[in-house]
Amino acid sequence: MAKLITAVLLSGGISSRFWPLLDKNTFVFQGKEFLYWHYLQLIRAGIDTCIVVTNESTNNSIRSVVVPEGLRVSYVIQKGQGMGQAVAALDGLLLDEPILILNTSDYYSDNFITSFVQKIQGENTMILGAVRLSNYFPGGYLRFNIDKTVAEVIEKPPKGKEPSDIGRIVADFYPKAGTIIDAVKLVGDDQVNGYEKAMNLVIANGLSCKAEITEFLNWCPMKYPWHILTCMQQFFPTKQEQHIHPSVEIKKNVVIEGSVIIEEGVKIFEGTKIVGPVYIGKNTIIGNNNIIRHSHIGSFVVTGFSTDITRSYIGDNCWFHTNYIGDSVIGNNVSMGSGSVCANLRLDDEEISNVVKGEKIKTEKNKLGAMIGNNVRMGVNSSIMPGIKIGQNSFIGAGVVVDRDLEEDKFIFLKNGIPTTIDNTKKAVVSREEFRKSL
Amino acid sequence: MAKLITAVLLSGGISSRFWPLLDKNTFVFQGKEFLYWHYLQLIRAGIDTCIVVTNESTNNSIRSVVVPEGLRVSYVIQKGQGMGQAVAALDGLLLDEPILILNTSDYYSDNFITSFVQKIQGENTMILGAVRLSNYFPGGYLRFNIDKTVAEVIEKPPKGKEPSDIGRIVADFYPKAGTIIDAVKLVGDDQVNGYEKAMNLVIANGLSCKAEITEFLNWCPMKYPWHILTCMQQFFPTKQEQHIHPSVEIKKNVVIEGSVIIEEGVKIFEGTKIVGPVYIGKNTIIGNNNIIRHSHIGSFVVTGFSTDITRSYIGDNCWFHTNYIGDSVIGNNVSMGSGSVCANLRLDDEEISNVVKGEKIKTEKNKLGAMIGNNVRMGVNSSIMPGIKIGQNSFIGAGVVVDRDLEEDKFIFLKNGIPTTIDNTKKAVVSREEFRKSL
Amino acid sequence: MAKLITAVLLSGGISSRFWPLLDKNTFVFQGKEFLYWHYLQLIRAGIDTCIVVTNESTNNSIRSVVVPEGLRVSYVIQKGQGMGQAVAALDGLLLDEPILILNTSDYYSDNFITSFVQKIQGENTMILGAVRLSNYFPGGYLRFNIDKTVAEVIEKPPKGKEPSDIGRIVADFYPKAGTIIDAVKLVGDDQVNGYEKAMNLVIANGLSCKAEITEFLNWCPMKYPWHILTCMQQFFPTKQEQHIHPSVEIKKNVVIEGSVIIEEGVKIFEGTKIVGPVYIGKNTIIGNNNIIRHSHIGSFVVTGFSTDITRSYIGDNCWFHTNYIGDSVIGNNVSMGSGSVCANLRLDDEEISNVVKGEKIKTEKNKLGAMIGNNVRMGVNSSIMPGIKIGQNSFIGAGVVVDRDLEEDKFIFLKNGIPTTIDNTKKAVVSREEFRKSL
């Protein structure tokens, strides 16, 4: 009988492109961290052992993620950055075990993961997850031998110089963990391509390597904050099911359509419409005359009167009041004053671009609203332009039109009519008492 | 038996005072051009032949207006401007036929037109439509002979020098078309008063002229864009009738009161109230928690969430979302971001004035909103002051308060808090695909 | 049998700290002046005779307050300011009658007043209303003799130097009016502490003085305009009663919860929720899709579409339209354009401070909106910051964010984006005709 596969989850990235949101591994969907959803998926695919590679700063929060029954998890901290360093951290922990390396930045469909695990079960060759590409993408490509085995991984070939139309994804199977660990150690300290060099070294040393190619990959990356909007959809109920906790209070003239999950203690007031897929977390209050469509709403949220939340992610403890929030990502403990709007469409309907770490990024979205960190406050009648990011602990004054990203811990306000940014010396309060009073 | 009367419709004006809306003849009410409504009226009055005088620029669009059954229409292009040039264009087309000259800028009541046509049937004198005036108006007055026949038409006499209290309207009957055509040719190239001079010449030459005086004229001019708001009321159903196409989808908690016409494919969402008279064109979507009162709404419009449209004209393909639009005229393919408002009342409740072609005009309205050309985009939380006009293809940025007219093809936005106007290099897209998706 | 007590109501203050609202005695709650509510309370406590001390400027309006059956009221005008001058004005009117002096700036609970009147009935000592304090307050304290009689009233002792934990409130009983009147005359012209000096003189002269101490005083001062929000709650029905006049028109999908008083001729439109305690005055129109919570709304108000009024006082003849009004006081004949908001919460949730007559005052409120005088107009999408006061007859232009108090008769507007204040040459119109039309 073949040895059971150990999954290695690479969770040691520092999520810098995910700003203004924090560590993606512990980002919460439906009350559970993103990593928890990975754990569940592994269990569904038949894997019962897993090592999570963390980094110094996220190690504690990642360890606090509850592990579902049926999975044994151990943790190891990687020293530097990059996948090579992540695999090097496994040295001494694994030797002859078959391993499947996955990156928790990417969430693949259950179909893919389950089928891949079945295919690699008991194999004694290296097997790489791969996808047939119809367009160029700036990642790793596979070069093949005549016998269709993989000859080499080529990182970011120039456009037109691709060795095939097969791109590599991070789903790498090794029949023995030690093989890749040793290779990584040999390659040494290359934080960018160390891992890929090690893979090529393993192949060059004679281990046969196959590609498991899918024609179409249902793939959800969590690199940029707007990816949250795609990723959250993976966890909505797929069938037209309505899971409404018996404690939920639904007032008159409320219409609920489509698939919804509504948790314990939620109240939904008169004249409101919910159009699934929608998730509403515990103890959240959906006010009068709201419309909530295709959105994730955390727990202890109050949406107030006449609010429209459409295709958006809302964290916990947020407060709204007569707002429009479209195609937006809102962190925890954010509040918006009456008439404050997250615009989600350019006047010319063109693609909304974004600057991430100084680099202009195509979002490939024509509808994209704001991305707002934790503990942000927005004044009445303020507006955020499409695709703008607001750092945590920042305040936006009444009537301000925010048309560029705002760092954390800033206060932008109208000083004699002119938008003026200063350091924010105030902190957003989470008024638990208020929550309780209103429940 | 008397010869049947040929109607001559003067449609050769250039609609310059109608800005930012385009040619008034092809301006659409309830899916039909204004000229079409004139055609229908002629048929109801018993006229079966009509010549439309157009100009070079509008000729094609006017010819494309579908002619209803029961009317024969021919077209002729006038060379210069003015009514004289219009009548001159009839030279060679008409000779001994009795004609009734009407200006399609004015829409008279059915009562007036039908009764006037009956009165002139078979007459062999010239007969002018006229109205008893209680206040001075800067138009044509009639001077009478002792026998009550008309002695002369006097254009714009100074106030106090009016020859009578009888004003002329453009509804002129001649037993033979050639009489006035010849007179116009004799008068020659006077683009301002050539026609009136020719009338006086005809009278001076001995043709008896009578006035058909109404005490009160139900009269709807289409000179300035705000006249659209009065004119659209002519076409609403007058009785408390509800014409709702069987395909119309009406969700829960919708209230529809008064007379309405709701066309094929319309959807009306929950919590919305419609207060007639209201027209809603094909495939339009009225969103949740709206109020729509006394308004004309074109086809393929989406009103979004929590929008209030009151006493307004809305063209086709418009998109709204949590807006207030009061006493306003909105062209085709206009969209307004969430929280954008067309104000319709001055803070001091005084009459709203207007500048048209450099001249300050009294609108005689205390409630008047915006007048907006085609393909305009308004950003979130922007505001347009009462009576302001926005040229077509212009964009208004988020948060801007527009307090003066904006030319076409401009972009006004807040640059560091200051409203700044530049040429608009972008175009408003009509996203048909979006329409279809949302239907 | 003991002589019946005459109440002396001190109503001669000039309400300068009550700005931008006017004289507090004639400030209207539920269609009745504040003084009228005092009259009712006296009757309930068994008092049938009352003298109201007024001042020159308020005398006429105070005399116009209707006196309820069961009470005899006479009026006297005080010369200067202060309580001493008020009592001096009684000279010649009262002599041997027992009197109870009350300040109409303070509204005590029925429990307190009724019990106090019972206690003092037939007494022949001076009796002062008093309250046990747990915190320092900058008012009068009582010093006691060993036998628990009052030795002295000490005005505003420094913190730490209080002679006891018993504070004085203005509810002073004298078995003979002449005693205190004579003392006040002896003390002479001290407008600040003349009355307290006179009290001490009476005690020093040998009249025994007792304190009637309550452990907890349900006390409602009307000093600052935000006190209106507390005071109005005294007059809401305390039980879950709904007093809805039979003429009230309630449309479909309206929900009314809690205790409400809804007067004659009110109309409430579809999709609206009323959450008591709520008072709605005569002929007021509550529009579609509103929410009205814990508020006082005057008569002839129109709330328009999608308005949220929460914990606020609204006077008569106001017009709203898609507004949020939270924790605010709005005078008579105020109107707000669509999207105009009275913010009620600082971004940092801290206490809202206030400047009254040049002095920074703690409001002890974290939620406090605007306080707006009569005849104010607010443009569309304008915003008023928490705790801001707007003087009567002032106008606020569209899009302005008002972040400091605005004097009366001003117009603040955006001049090329910059908020600019000028004298207001326009007046707000009360369009009665419009009211009638819309009823």
3-state secondary structure chain C: CCCCCEEEEECCCCCHHHCCCCCHHHCEECCEEHHHHHHHHHHHCCCCEEEEEECCCCHHHHHCCCCCCCCEEEEEECCCCCHHHHHHCCECCECCCCEEEEECCEEECHHHHHHHHHHHCCCCCEEEEEEECCCCCCCEEEEECCCCCEEEEEECCCCCCCCCCEEEEEEEEECCHHHHHHHHHHHCCCCCCHHHHHHHHHHHCCCCEEEEEECCCCEEECCCCCHHHHHHHHHCCCCCCEEECCCCEECCCCEEECCEEECCCCEECCCCEEECCEEECCCCEECCCCEEECCEECCCCECCCCCEEECCEECCCCECCCCEEECCEECCCCEECCCCEECCECCCCCCCEEEECCEEEECCCCECCCEECCCCEECCCCEECCCCEECCCCEECCCCEECCCECCCEEEEEECCEEEEEECCCCCCCCHHHHHHHC
Same domain, C81 and C183: yes
* Residue that is written with structure tokens 């409630």 in the block: B367
| C304 → chain B, closest CA residue | B308
Contact across the interface for B339 and A383, Cβ inside 8 Å:
yes
Contact across the interface for C347 and A417, Cβ inside 8 Å:
no
How many beta-carbon contacts under 8 Å exist across B and C?
89
Nearest CB to C291; choose among A305, A398, A399: A305
Structure-derived torsion over alpha carbons of residues A117, A123, A128, A132, reported in degrees to the nearest 10: -80
Residue B47 and residue A141: Cα distance in Å, rounded?
A: 77
Same domain, C183 and C326: no
Nearest CB to A273; choose among B288, B321, B431: B288
Nearest CB to B255; choose among C270, C399, C426: C270
Same domain, C241 and C163: no
With bands split at pLDDT 50, 70 and 90, how would you rate the model's confidence at A1?
very low
Contact across the interface for A289 and B270, Cβ inside 8 Å:
no
Q: What's the average model confidence in pLDDT over A138-161?
A: 93
**What is the extent of the structural domain holding C139?**
6-223
Q: Which of C223, C249, C275 is the last residue of a domain?
A: C223
The subunits that touch chain A, with at least 3 C-beta pairs less than 8 Å apart, are B, C
Query: How far apart are the CA of A418 and the nearest CA of chain C, in angstroms?
Result: 8
Predicted confidence at residue C439, as pLDDT, reads 46
Q: Which residues of A fall within a CB distance of 8 Å from C324?
A: 305, 321-322, 338-339, 380
Residue B194 and residue B10: Cα distance in Å, rounded?
A: 15
Task: List residues of C whose CB lies inside 8 A of any B CB.
Answer: 251-253, 269-271, 288-289, 305-306, 321-322, 337-339, 377, 379-381, 395, 397-399, 411, 414, 416-418, 426-429, 431
| B417 → chain A, closest CA residue | A418
CATH number at residue B216: 3.90.550.10
Cβ count within 10 A of residue B74: 10
Nearest CB to A380; choose among C341, C399, C417: C341
- For residue C291, the cross-strand partners are C273, C308
Residue A295 and residue A337: Cα distance in Å, rounded?
A: 20
- In A175-286 the beta strands, taken as DSSP E runs, fall at 209-214, 219-221, 242-244, 249-250, 255-257, 260-262, 267-268, 273-275, 278-280, 285-286
Contact across the interface for A397 and C401, Cβ inside 8 Å:
yes
> Of the ranges A192-196, B372-376, C115-119, C225-229, which one carries the lowest mean pLDDT score?
A192-196
Q: Which residues of A fall within a CB distance of 8 Å from B306?
A: 289, 306, 308
Same domain, B208 and B162: yes
Nearest CB to C417; choose among B343, B350, B417: B417
Same domain, C71 and C203: yes
Q: What does the pLDDT profile of chain C (439 residues) look like in tens digits?
A: 457 899 999 999 888 999 999 999 999 999 999 999 999 999 999 999 999 999 999 999 999 999 999 999 999 999 988 999 999 999 999 999 999 999 999 999 999 999 999 999 989 999 999 999 988 888 899 999 999 999 999 999 999 999 999 999 999 999 999 999 999 999 987 777 889 999 999 999 999 999 999 888 788 899 999 999 999 999 998 778 999 999 999 999 999 999 999 999 999 999 999 999 999 999 999 999 999 999 999 999 999 999 999 999 999 999 999 999 999 999 999 999 999 999 999 999 999 999 998 999 999 999 999 999 999 999 999 999 999 999 999 999 999 999 999 999 999 999 999 999 999 998 888 765 555 454 4
End-to-end CA gap in chain B: 56
Query: How far apart are the CA of A423 and the nearest CA of chain C, in angstroms?
Result: 14
Predicted confidence at residue B434, as pLDDT, reads 57
Same domain, C212 and C240: no
Helix (H, G, I), strand (E, B) or coil at B11: coil
Q: Which residues of C fall within a CB distance of 8 Å from B306?
A: 289, 306
* Displacement of CA B338 from its chain's centroid (Å): 29
Structure-derived torsion over alpha carbons of residues A30, A34, A37, A38, reported in degrees to the nearest 10: 170
* Residue that is written with structure tokens 């002129």 in the block: B172
Rg, C-alpha atoms of chain A:
23
By CB neighbour count within 10 A (0-12 exposed, 13-18 middle, 19+ buried), where does B23 fall? buried
Omega before A98 cis (within 30°)?
no
Nearest CB to A273; choose among B270, B414, B417: B270
The subunits that touch chain B, with at least 3 C-beta pairs less than 8 Å apart, are A, C
Query: How far apart are the CA of B239 and the nearest CA of chain C, in angstroms?
Result: 21
Nearest CB to C273; choose among A270, A380, A414: A270
Beta pairing class for C329-330 and C371-372: parallel
Task: List residues of B whose CB lies inside 8 A of any C CB.
Answer: 253, 255, 271, 273, 289, 291, 306, 308, 324, 326, 339, 341, 343, 345, 347-350, 381, 383, 385, 399, 401, 403, 414, 417-419
The residue among B324, B328, B346, B382 with the most chain C CBs within 10 A of its CB, best to mutate, is B324
Nearest CB to C381; choose among A252, A322, A381: A381
Q: Which residues of A fall within a CB distance of 8 Å from C343?
A: 337-338, 379-380, 398
The subunits that touch chain C, with at least 3 C-beta pairs less than 8 Å apart, are A, B
Predicted confidence at residue A193, as pLDDT, reads 85
> Of the ranges A121-130, A145-154, A212-221, which one carries the lowest mean pLDDT score?
A212-221
Tell me the ipTM for this assembly: 0.93
Q: Is residue A1 part of a domain?
A: no
Same domain, B298 and B370: yes
Region of C304 (left: φ > 0; alpha: ψ -120 to 50; beta: rest) is: left
Predicted confidence at residue B108, as pLDDT, reads 93
Contact across the interface for B381 and A381, Cβ inside 8 Å:
yes
Predicted confidence at residue B80, as pLDDT, reads 86
Same domain, B277 and B202: no
The number of distinct structural domains making up chain B is: 2
Residue C191 and residue C177: Cα distance in Å, rounded?
A: 20
Residue C82 and residue C187: Cα distance in Å, rounded?
A: 13
Helices H, strands E: what count in chain B?
Answer: 8, 39
DSSP state of B80: S
Q: Is residue B358 part of a domain?
A: yes
Contact across the interface for C398 and B383, Cβ inside 8 Å:
yes
With bands split at pLDDT 50, 70 and 90, how would you rate the model's confidence at B95?
very high
Same domain, B219 and B236: no
Nearest CB to C288; choose among B273, B326, B417: B273
Q: Which residues of C fall within a CB distance of 8 Å from A427?
A: 348
> Of the ranges A288-292, B79-83, C151-155, C279-283, which one carries the lowest mean pLDDT score?
B79-83
Task: List residues of C whose CB lies inside 8 A of any A CB.
Answer: 253, 255, 271, 273, 289, 291, 306, 308, 324, 326, 339, 341, 343, 345, 347-350, 381, 383, 385, 399, 401, 403, 414, 417-419
Q: Is residue A337 part of a domain?
A: yes
Contact across the interface for A398 and C418, Cβ inside 8 Å:
no
**B165: which 2 tokens?**
């209290």
Q: Is residue C142 part of a domain?
A: yes
Q: Is residue B68 part of a domain?
A: yes
CB-side neighbour CA atoms (13 Å) of B410: 19
Q: Is residue C402 part of a domain?
A: yes
Q: Is residue A330 part of a domain?
A: yes
Q: What's the average model confidence in pLDDT over B140-167?
A: 94
Give B396-409 pLDDT, tens digit per residue.
999 999 999 999 99
Helix (H, G, I), strand (E, B) or coil at A109: coil
Contact across the interface for C379 and B306, Cβ inside 8 Å:
no
* Displacement of CA A332 from its chain's centroid (Å): 15
Q: Which of B161, B196, B223 is the last residue of a domain?
A: B223
Omega before B138 cis (within 30°)?
no
Query: How far apart are the CA of B319 and the nearest CA of chain A, in angstroms?
Result: 12
Same domain, A159 and A262: no
Q: Which residues of A fall within a CB distance of 8 Å from C349?
A: 428-429, 431
Task: List residues of A whose CB lies inside 8 A of any B CB.
Answer: 253, 255, 271, 273, 289, 291, 306, 308, 324, 326, 339, 341, 343, 345, 347-350, 381, 383, 385, 399, 401, 403, 414, 417-419
Same domain, B134 and B90: yes
Same domain, B183 and B242: no
Q: Is residue C200 part of a domain?
A: yes
Q: Which of C159, C188, C223 is the last residue of a domain?
A: C223
Query: How far apart are the CA of C416 and the nearest CA of chain B, in angstroms?
Result: 6
CATH number at residue A305: 2.160.10.10
Handedness of CA A210, A216, A220, A223 (dihedral sign): positive
| C339 → chain B, closest CA residue | B339
Cβ count within 10 A of residue B162: 18
| B324 → chain C, closest CA residue | C338
